[in-house]
Amino acid sequence: MPWPEALIFDVDGTLAETEPLHLAAFNAVFAQAGLWQWSEREYRTLLTTTGGKERIARYITEHGWDLDRYPVADLHAAKNRHYAGLLGQVTLREGIAELIAGAQASGIRLAIATTTSQENVVALLHAVGAEDVFESIAAGDMVAEKKPAPDVYLLALRQLGLPAEACLALEDSRQGLRSAKAAGLRVALCPALFTKGDGASGADILLESFADLKIDALREMA
């Protein structure tokens, strides 16, 4: 079998630069609730905690506030409703559409492994007209532990029915890289706006743009 048999895509920061939209949605909801605002600088640090609910909880506990006094689940649900409304502005990252087309032309299967929810993934795919591209979605709300734990990549492999050696993961963040590596995958890392400078050690391929990732070159790495 030619390698790779499947590409497994991360979502936020990989398929699209969605983190600025998540941040805008978080801040809109915090403003409505009369709470704090997150700066871009602060959000970069907070992104080391994957998962929006977990991120809000981390912020509250780091400030020494009582977690029970904040409706974390409600704030997060409101953030995702607001986020869905912002997706009209989103486009795929540079090179992603060509990579998908190249993989499809070569018979390479396409899947998703993400920390965000299935609902957010479906909304994003709809916004960019890619509803029918991926055969499976492994999402953060389907597994016990989010990235950097390997769970979501292991779920993606089970959904595909393929061993880790047969696949390549595409990621933007250190947490995602760690997750895919812990699941035994090779990883192509292309840092995004909020994950640049995270550290790339362990990546099999380090990219400045997904436009630099060519199917023919991947075939030679088999």
Binding site for ligand XBP (CB under 6 A): 10-13, 19, 22, 50-52, 80, 114-117, 120, 140, 147, 173, 176
Of the pair 80, 136, the CB lying nearest ligand XBP is at 80
| Smallest gap from residue 68 Cβ to ligand XBP (A) | 21
Q: Which stretches within 140-183 are classed as H helix? A: 151-160, 174-182
Write down how long the chain is.
222
Of the pair 50, 136, the CB lying nearest ligand XBP is at 50
Of the pair 13, 148, the CB lying nearest Mg ion is at 13
Distance CA 39, CA 128 (A): 27
22 binds, among Mg ion, ligand XBP, none (CB under 5 to 8 A by kind): ligand XBP
| Smallest gap from residue 93 Cβ to ligand XBP (A) | 12
The pairing of strands 109-113 and 6-9 is parallel
Please state the φ and ψ torsions of residue 109, each to the nearest 5 degrees: -80, 155
Q: Which stretches within 128-173 are classed as H helix? A: 151-160
For residue 66, indicate whether it is catalytic: no
Q: Which residue's CB atom is positioned nearest to ligand XBP?
A: 52
At 197, list the tokens: 């400078």
Residues marked active site are found at 10, 12
